[in-house]
Structures are given as structure tokens and as C-alpha cells.
């Protein structure tokens, strides 16, 4: 579990460079930030600004070119390649834009999958999965195949799946990206509710201002740099958005 008052995720001078066909692209540039327990953080920015890269670095799916990522107080650069998978499975939960449910598995099986990967007791997992499905309002479809559900329903299943291992933080990459506006709003309300009721620390990425507005804290990203953070004193959501648009005009 996270230490009270200590950041759950801490990025210190994180940069990420890609080599695309011989051209070096700076996806992230000297990004430093801290995510604290219980926060509901939205990361907003235009396409290609590095939002997903930032989330991947936080989620230990990708290693930064330089800088350090601390998760639950541990310097992840010191974790070996083999161990990182286990650490990721234990500490982090993921929600993807396209849900990524395994089509041949039932809703229940999809939810318990990360728990099985972590070698947890299947009976316990099933019990817990049913509770989670109830919480996300999809328990009545537990034995259906994931593919037979609507987009909104599938994403609810994905949220339950992200919570099955009691992660210290849930990372959601454009969770409403594949949903219609009604379903998007319903899903965001669910995330807010889970954050409030369960205290599930959540970081989500969106390019949609309305969706990003569900975050209790918003970080604006532009060209791989943080250009605004509502955690800073005197900076609210509107100012963050303004900074984003100002930066765009300056460019």
C-alpha cells in the first residue's frame, strides 16, 4: 500500500526520445510530477503531445530515456527487466482506449485474468471479481463473452479488471476514446465514483476537454512538456486550458 502523504508515482526529469526512421523525436522532455494517493488526475493535451508516452512511463510499460520513475516509493530504474512485469502487475491497473478484453473469455474470466497472471487464488479472485462487477454495474453480464457487450459495458469490465489486483494506481489511456458521448459521461461518472468510494488513485489521459474536466486535478501537456497543473497554487482548470491554448498561439 502507498505511504500516506508520499507520492504514489513520482517522475523526476523524465525524458523520452524515439528514433523514427533516423529522426529523433522528443516525446517527453524533462517531465517531473507527483501523483498522490486518492487523486483523480486527468492529463490533457493535443494529439502527439506525449500524453500516452507519459502514461506508459508511469505504467512501467516503457522505460524513460533519462530521468527516474518512482512507483510506491521504489526507484523503478533499479528493477530488472524480468521483475518489472511482476511489479507492474502488482502495483498498477490499466484501462485501454479499446478495452482490450480477450474476446473468447467471459466477462468474469476477463476480470480475473490479471489476478491469475499474478498466481492468486482463483476462488478468491472470482468472489472479488463479482463484487467489482457489481460496483461497475455489469454483474448481470458476468457470464457473457466480452465481445457481446456494448463499448460502454466493455470499458466497465476493463475498469473492474484494472482493480482486481488492488493496484496503487489505475492508469487509463483515453478511456472514453472509443465511446459515444453518453457512454463517455457515464463511464467518467463511474471513475469519479470509484475514486470517491474506493479511494482508487486514478490517472487518465484524454484530449477531450469535457472528459478531462472530470479530473480533480488536471495536468496539461504540450510537446512533451507540462505546461499547466491545477495542483499549483492559483491554477484552476480554466487557466490550464488557457495555458494550453496560449502555448499553441505562441507556437
Partner 1 sequence: MDISRRLAIGELKEHKRIYAVIIIVIALTMTSFMLENAYLNYMMQVVDDTTKLVTSDAAIVDPSCNLRDLYGTEVELKNAGEIAKRIEENLPGYKTTIRVTAQGTYGLGVKGEAVDGCTIQGIDPERDNEITSLADKIVAGRFFSKNDSILRGHTPLYIEIKGPGNLPDFVYGTSERPLEGDKPYPIIIGATAAKMHPSLGVGKTISLTMSVSGKETSYATVNVKIIGMYESGTPTLDALMWFMHADSLREIKGYGEITGKDWHIPGVGTFRGYNPIKVDRDRGDVVLVKAPEPLHKLNPIGYSEEVKEKVSSIFPFLKVYSWHDFLVYIAGSMQDVVTIMLWGSIAVTLFLCGAAIKYVMDSIIMRKTREIGSLKAFGARDRVIFKIFLYQGLVIGFIAGILGVLFSLLVMYLVNWYGFNVEFIAGTQLKVSFIINWLTLLISIVLPVVLSVLAAAVPAKKAAMLSPVEALRKGELSL
Task: Decide the pairing of beta strands 23-35 and 217-222.
Answer: unpaired
- Least gap, CB of 15 to partner 1 (angstroms): 16
- Measured from the CB atom, the residue of 34 and 90 that comes closer to partner 1 is 90
Distance CA 130, CA 4 (A): 29
Q: Report the 3 state secondary structure along 107-154.
A: HHHHHHHHHHHCCCCHHHHHHHHHHHHHHCCCHHHCCCEHHHCCHHHH
- The answer to whether 158 touches 152, Cβ cutoff 8 Å, is no
- Least gap, CB of 246 to partner 1 (angstroms): 31
- Least gap, CB of 205 to partner 1 (angstroms): 13
- Least gap, CB of 125 to partner 1 (angstroms): 11
User: Which residues of the chain form contacts with partner 1 (CB under 8 A)?
Assistant: 56, 59, 61-62, 82, 85-86, 88-90, 92, 94, 96-98, 100, 102, 104-105, 113-114, 116-119, 161, 165
Place of cell 453518453: 182
- Measured from the CB atom, the residue of 45 and 114 that comes closer to partner 1 is 114
Place of cell 461518472: 189
- Measured from the CB atom, the residue of 62 and 135 that comes closer to partner 1 is 62
- Measured from the CB atom, the residue of 120 and 239 that comes closer to partner 1 is 120
Amino acid at each position: 500500500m502507498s505511504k500516506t502523504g508520499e507520492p504514489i508515482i513520482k517522475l523526476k526529469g523524465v525524458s523520452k526520445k524515439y528514433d523514427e526512421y533516423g529522426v529523433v523525436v522528443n516525446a517527453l522532455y524533462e517531465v517531473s510530477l507527483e501523483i498522490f494517493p486518492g487523486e483523480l488526475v486527468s492529463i490533457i493535451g493535443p494529439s502527439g503531445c506525449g500524453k500516452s508516452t507519459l502514461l506508459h512511463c508511469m505504467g512501467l510499460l516503457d522505460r524513460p530515456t533519462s530521468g527516474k520513475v518512482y512507483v510506491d516509493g521504489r526507484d523503478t530504474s533499479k528493477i530488472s527487466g524480468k521483475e518489472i512485469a511482476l511489479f507492474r502487475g502488482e502495483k498498477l491497473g490499466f484501462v485501454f482506449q479499446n478495452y482490450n478484453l480477450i474476446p473468447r473469455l467471459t466477462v468474469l474470466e476477463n476480470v480475473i485474468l490479471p489476478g491469475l497472471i499474478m498466481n492468486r487464488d482463483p476462488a478468491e479472485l472470482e468472489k472479488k471479481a463479482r463484487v467489482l462487477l457489481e460496483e461497475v454495474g455489469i454483474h448481470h453480464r458476468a457470464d457473457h463473452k466480452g465481445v457481446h457487450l456494448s463499448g460502454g459495458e466493455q470499458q466497465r469490465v476493463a475498469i473492474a479488471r484494472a482493480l482486481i489486483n488492488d493496484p496503487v494506481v489505475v492508469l487509463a489511456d483515453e478511456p472514453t476514446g472509443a465511446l459515444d458521448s453518453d457512454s463517455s459521461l457515464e463511464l467518467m461518472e463511474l471513475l469519479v465514483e470509484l475514486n470517491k468510494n474506493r479511494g482508487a488513485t486514478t490517472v487518465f489521459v484524454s484530449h477531450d476537454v469535457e472528459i478531462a474536466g472530470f479530473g480533480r486535478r488536471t495536468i496539461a501537456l504540450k510537446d512533451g512538456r507540462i505546461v499547466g497543473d491545477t495542483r499549483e497554487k492559483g491554477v484552476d482548470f480554466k487557466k490550464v486550458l488557457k495555458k494550453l491554448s496560449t502555448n499553441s498561439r505562441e507556437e
